[in-house]
Structure 1
Amino acid sequence: MPHLVILYTGQLDRETDMGLLCRRLADAMLTIKDEAGKPVFPTGGTRVLAYPAAHYAVADGGTAGREAAQFNSNPHSGPNGSGDSSDYAFVYLNLRVGRGRTEATLQRAGQTLADVAHAHLADVFGQRHIGITFQVDVGNEVFDNKHSNLHPLFNKS
């Protein structure tokens, strides 16, 4: 932990670099400090994963946007139909962390990461209708097992 998982409508792969978004978010996670000035997230535990939805349906499929004549010049628009590029876009970002961080720290982390996502997606936001949701969840683990040889790479004293 922390794991930031991004689910998004698949047409965005043609409209933005989701791999770059992942890198930007991971880099931002590593800059966040707690109230004592210590890193909030361990370098070796930081993960950002993005998954496109091959099939999706968002709201009314783009009908209201087309009727409002907004974004008609979108070069990515295609024929109408559920899940095609004329449908609305959506990005869901979920940061899941273990317990032990203050609410203020998590609020700051969430806002920092949301700002990074919004900046990265600003061009898309200006070209099409898109919903972006960012949530931070704190684990209430019943079972938590970690097996990694990544942490020693970054725990040099």
Structure 2
Amino acid sequence: MPHLVINYSGNLDAVLDMPRLCRDCADAMLAVRDEEGKQVFPTGGTRVLAFPAPHFALADGGAAGRAAGAGKTGLTSDDPGEYGFMYANLRMARGRSAASQQKAGEAVVTAIRMHLDPAMATRHIGLTVQVDEGMEVFDAKHSTIHPLFKKP
């Protein structure tokens, strides 16, 4: 942990570089520091996964956006008349301060918006980012990645 899982409407693949967005989110998470200046998330445990939804239904299917017309909602005439959506859930293990949780959430929002804002200039897209602390009932880990980042 931490795991950032991004679910998004598949129509965003045409306007976003998702591999780059994932890498930028991971880098943003790794840059978060706590009140003592220590890295909040372990490098070897930081994961960002993105899943497009090939089938989705959003709001009214784009009718309100099309009815508003280009320019009236601040969008350009490139608006295809469909909506997009992205949901990002950052799940972390318990024990981090509220300030660290807030910083982590803000870092993820900033990284995602760096990619999403240009697309939002031409189409209607919704973004939700949530941060959760793990409420594990069972937690098993097996990794050959973590040892790479352990200091001797």
Q: Pick the TM interval, shorter chain.
A: over 0.9
Check if 1:38 corresponds to 2:38. Answer: yes
- Following superposition, the deviation at residue 31 of structure 1 comes to 0.7
User: CA offsets, 1:99-136, max 9 Å, x none?
Assistant: 01011110111011101111111111101000000000
Q: Which residue identity does 2:77 align to in structure 1?
A: S
Distance 1:74 1:138 in 2: 40
Check if 1:9 corresponds to 2:9. Answer: yes
Q: What residue number does 2:123 align with? A: 128
1:66–1:72: 8 Å Cα contact kept in structure 2? no
Match of 1:102 among 72, 97, 105: 97
More off after superposition, 111-120 vs 53-62: 111-120
**Normalising to structure 2: TM-score of the pair?**
0.93
Q: What residue number does 1:74 align with? A: 78
Runs of 4+ in 1 over 6 A off after TM superposition: none
Check if 1:112 corresponds to 2:116. Answer: no
Distance 1:120 1:140 in 2: 31
Distance 1:35 1:3 in 2: 22
Secondary structure, aligned partner of 1:115: helix
- Following superposition, the deviation at residue 156 of structure 1 comes to 2.3
- Following superposition, the deviation at residue 95 of structure 1 comes to 0.2
Q: 1:35 to 1:2 in 2, by over 3 A?
A: same
Q: Which residue identity does 1:64 align to in structure 2?
A: A
- Following superposition, the deviation at residue 72 of structure 1 comes to 6.5
2:76–2:121: 8 Å Cα contact kept in structure 1? no
Q: Which residue identity does 1:2 align to in structure 2?
A: P
Secondary structure, aligned partner of 2:99: helix
Structure 2: stretches of 5+ with no match in the other structure = none
**Normalising to structure 1: TM-score of the pair?**
0.90
Give the share of equivalent positions with the same residue, in percent: 57
Structure 1: stretches of 5+ with no match in the other structure = 78-85
Q: What residue number does 1:56 align with? A: 56
- Following superposition, the deviation at residue 140 of structure 1 comes to 1.2
User: CA offsets, 1:27-77, max 9 Å, x none?
Assistant: 1111111111111000000000000000000000000000000346227x2
Distance 1:37 1:141 in 2: 27
Instruction: Name the count of aligned residue pairs.
Output: 148
